[in-house]
Amino acid sequence: MQRYKIAIDTKGSDKGARTIIKGASIALSQNEDLELLLVGDKDEIENEARELNMPLDRLEILDAKDVITNYDSPSFAIFEKQDSSLVKALEATSVRDDIKGLLCAGSTGALMAGSMRYLSGKNRVRPSLAAVLPSENGELTCLLDTGATIDCGASTLLHFAKIGTAFMKRMYGIESPRVGLLSNGAERTKGNKIVKEAHELLEAEKELNFIGNVEGSNALSGICDVLVCDGFAGNQVLKVTEGTATRIIKDIVRYAKRTGSKEIMELVGHLMSVYDISSLGGGIVLGIEKPVIKAHGCCDEKAIVNTTKMLLNMAKNIAVYDKRNNKI
């Protein structure tokens, strides 16, 4: 059986290393072809591994005493904190062929800066933080950027369209992913200056299956496989969706309590399983050489299991980087 090794940064998350290691342990038990490199405090990881009875033949530990926090300046910390778990994990992922991907629940900014430093290859193009979201028709939509690159030029949006297309092709076997450009109207004349410029660039790029502008109301309707926008707008799409879903679900719970309806409480369970964005496996760093996922800072064990499984699938599908063609 071919095995795939994934690196996991155990530090920097809100709930502490224990939660990450527990999630890693469950992922190992559920996936026989998975091997892990856990990066962090060696003693702590060894203790947990013993307690959790983790399979030592599929577990490697890399000691790192330091941590990059959300209070550090990302680009500074990536250069200065050489003994941090994130820098050590990135370094290992970069130089070791046997490591197929990296999972981190710490600072997003540092992960993005570090991904660019260690994993962007010769191109040194800015990576993008993408989210793969279930759309209304049951298919998946890759939304990028979701908040890593806030100010984008039109050529960056074109770049995002390309890396999103490549990812949806390799990861989900979509032959010709439909690319939409988020705008304030479906007509081609709609958009801010940069979106209008990007519209022309996307249209001129014959290798892309560009379907035109997509309105916010259709962002997750399934109208496109890749939805391109700058990180500011992408963040709004994610958070407004989350905020609205949470609000409606709370409203239904209140309604159910008022009416005492058991059927409606069951409906709430259904809705929470469908619209819980935080369980979806975090953001995917696209535009780099290896699969990297940023899990939410407050992620629980289940989220670690899901994201690790996703990384495993990405590794199997060579979803992010195709060495044969030497292109992203």
Using rule CB under 8 A, residue 75 touches its own copies: no
Among 267, 272, 280, 318, the residue binding its own copies under the rule CB under 8 A is 267
Residue keyed to tokens 């309806």: 261
Q: Which helix (H) or strand (E) holds 269?
A: helix 262-275
Does 219 bind its own copies (CB under 8 A)? Our answer is: yes
Six token digits for residue 252: 């239904």
Using CB under 8 A, which of 238, 284, 288, 328 touches its own copies?
238
Shortest reach from residue 234's CB to its own copies, in Å: 9
Least distance in angstroms from the C-beta of 215 to its own copies: 5
Angle 67-68-69 (CA atoms, 0-180°, nearest 5)?
Answer: 110
Contact call for residue 278 and its own copies (CB under 8 A): no
DSSP at 279: G
- Residue 290 contacts residue 323 (beta carbons within 8 Å): no
| From candidates 29, 209, 246, 313, binder to its own copies by CB under 8 A | 246
Distance CA 36, CA 84 (A): 18
Does position 261 interact with its own copies (CB under 8 A)? The reply is yes
**Residue 25's beta-bridge partner residues?**
none
Distance CA 294, CA 144 (A): 14
Q: In this chain, which stretch among 29-37, 44-52, 118-126, 269-277 interacts with its own copies, using CB under 8 A?
A: 269-277
Rule CB under 8 A: choose which of 29, 75, 209, 221 binds its own copies.
221
Q: How far is the CB of 230 from its own copies (least distance, A)?
A: 8
Max CA pair span of the chain: 62
Counting Cβ atoms within 10 Å, is residue 300 exposed (0-12), middle (13-18) or buried (19+)?
A: middle
The Cα 18–Cα 48 span in angstroms is 7
Q: According to CB under 8 A, which one of 250, 302, 316, 327 is a site residue for its own copies? A: 250
Q: Which stretch binds its own copies (CB under 8 A): 75-83, 92-100, 259-267, 308-316?
A: 259-267
Q: Does 245 bind its own copies (CB under 8 A)?
A: yes
Binding of its own copies by 232 (CB under 8 A): yes
Assigned token pair, 205: 């790029």
Q: Considering the complex, what minimum distance in angstroms separates the CB of residue 240 from its own copies?
A: 4
3-state SS, residue 248: helix
For the bound state, the minimum distance from the C-beta of residue 238 to its own copies, rounded and expressed in Å, comes to: 7
* Structure token digits, residue 100: 């197929």
Helix (H, G, I), strand (E, B) or coil at 132: strand
The DSSP letter of residue 129 is E
- Closest distance between its own copies and the C-beta of residue 182, in Å? 7
| CB nearer its own copies, residue 61 or residue 132 | 132
With binding defined as CB under 8 A, does residue 228 bind its own copies?
Answer: no
217 lines the binding site for its own copies (CB under 8 A): yes
- By C-beta, is 23 or 147 nearer to its own copies? 147
Q: State the Cα–Cα distance between residues 171 and 177, nearest whole angstrom.
A: 11
Residue in 140, 154, 252, 280 binding its own copies, rule: CB under 8 A: 252
> CB of 319: closest distance to its own copies in angstroms?
26
Using rule CB under 8 A, residue 147 touches its own copies: yes
Q: Which C-beta is closer to its own copies: that of 30 or that of 70?
A: 70
Q: Which long-range contacts (CB under 8 A, 24 or more apart) does 78-85 make?
A: 78/110, 78/113, 78/114, 78/117, 79/117, 84/11, 85/9, 85/10, 85/11, 85/12, 85/39, 85/40
User: Could you list the residues that contact its own copies (CB under 8 A)?
Assistant: 136, 147, 150-151, 182-185, 191-193, 195, 215-221, 230-233, 235-248, 250-252, 255, 259, 261, 263-264, 267, 270-271, 274-275
